[in-house]
Copies of this chain bind each other. A is one copy, B any other.
Amino acid sequence: MTDLPPEVPALCVVGTVAFDDVETPSGTREGILGGSATYFSVAASHFANVGLVGVVGEDFPNRYRSVLSSHDVDLSGLVVQPGGQTFHWSGRYEGDMDQAETLKTDLNVLETFAPELPSAFRACPYVFLANTDPHIQMSVLEQLEDPRLVVMDTMNLWIDIARDPLLAVIKRVDGLMINDAEAKSLSGEDNLIAAGRALLDFGPRFVIVKKGEHGSFLFSDKRLFALPSYPLDVVVDPTGAGDSFAGGVMGYLAGQHAQRVDDVCSAMLYGTAVASFTVSDFSLDVLGDLDRGTLEERADEIRRFVRP
């Protein structure tokens, strides 16, 4: 591939930067750094240069900005809304922690967010559209100049209230990343394999279904692939697992200049590796301290774990 100009990140993500209040069996934290773009970009930063597009309020502290910039995340697309307050999510996990119970969502600056990519980001070859209103995802797509690989996430809210705009976005991306309940709901299929296959008919070249502790599936016309989650006997906080997984997948692909389905399968190993560190502590407490060698070791461990 042609080398990118230095101001163009190899990978960009459009998503949320948030304050999280989290309650899990391991403890409680308030106002910790969270958000899809945060988890994604720090996870991906271990593999590629990442640009982040999002919005925060004036209350967003420098120490959180430093967490991102210390991973060389390009923050030229992070808007600070004057007088605004940062998106704030509160949630609780119980029992086997397979699902978050949302206690409160203060959209704040997200309510009026209409992301505009910095001009250098428009040439970005790898793009991840984190879960957000599909109209916003479409507006980002329209700002991109010939990206090599675009992958998107979504959630039940948009499946329920904005199905048509969502389908229009899905039709234009290379990959859809979605959790199992959403895959069933979007496709109308009770069986997850039928659901994954049905989603391919909506247009993307591949669909990755995230199953939390049960791992992930890749669906494509040529190949089905299953990968378990890394076996952890203590999960401290599942928040950010899916976005870290996506960050590992997309970061690995961007770092390798790769986009074939077989490459995506390899990338899922790294997504799984990164996510396993994310959930082993609150916020980015472990994820932020990783190095590439530790991730390679974890990926090797996962390879051994799945080899019959």
Contacts and interface: CB of A to CB of B under 8 A. Distances in A.
Interface of A: 25, 95-96, 184, 190-194, 197, 211, 213-215, 217, 224-228, 231-235, 265-266, 268-269, 302-303, 305-308
Contacts of A235: 191
A308 B265 contact: yes
Contacts of A214: 211, 214-215
Contact of A231 (B96, B226, B234, B308): B226
A303 to B, nearest CB: 6
A233 B306 contact: no
A95 B302 CA distance: 32
Contacts of A225: 305-308
A226 B227 CA distance: 9
A226 B269 contact: no
A192 B226 contact: no
Contacts of A305: 224-226
A211 to B, nearest CB: 7
Contact of A308 (B96, B184, B306): B306
A241 B24 CA distance: 34
Contacts of A228: 215, 217, 226, 228
Contact of A193 (B227, B232, B269, B302): B232
B96 A233 contact: no
B96 A306 contact: no
A303 B233 CA distance: 26
A302 to B, nearest CB: 8
Contacts of A232: 191, 193
B226 A191 contact: no
Contacts of A190: 25, 95-96
29 contacts: A25-B190, A96-B191, A96-B192, A191-B233, A192-B213, A193-B231, A193-B233, A194-B233, A211-B214, A214-B215, A215-B226, A215-B228, A217-B228, A224-B305, A225-B305, A225-B306, A225-B307, A225-B308, A226-B228, A226-B231, A226-B305, A226-B306, A227-B306, A228-B228, A268-B308, A269-B308, A303-B308, A306-B306, A306-B308
